[in-house]
Amino acid sequence: MPETNTDTHTSPDATAEVQKNFAAFQKLLPEKMKLHAGKFALMSDGALIDIYDTWQDAYRTGHRFFGADRFSIQQFETRPADLGFWSHAII
């Protein structure tokens, strides 16, 4: 289970979005790792929107099309990565 952000600025809807997206991402991970290791998935409403070479490109697209609380970004990695500030801000 992913760590839940306890920041008081995070809405319950945003937390639910991240959890839904992470569950969907975990299902995609084995198949997509073959071709996209190290890349970043833009997820929204439990669906893979697109795959990007950088988290910055994924973030810009997600923010433009979905707003601040309606997308998340996951990296195709076999182990968890700590993105520091961004792991709590991109929700």
74 φ/ψ angles, rounded to the nearest 5 degrees: -125, 145
Structure tokens at 63: 């923010």
Higher pLDDT, 40 or 83: 40
pTM, to two decimals: 0.73
Per-residue pLDDT, 78: 73
- Using only C-alpha atoms, the chain has a radius of gyration, in whole angstroms, of 12
The structural domains of the chain, with segments of one domain joined by +, span 20-89
Nearest to 91 by CA among 41, 8, 21: 21
Give the CB-side neighbour count of residue 55, counting CA atoms within 13 A.
17
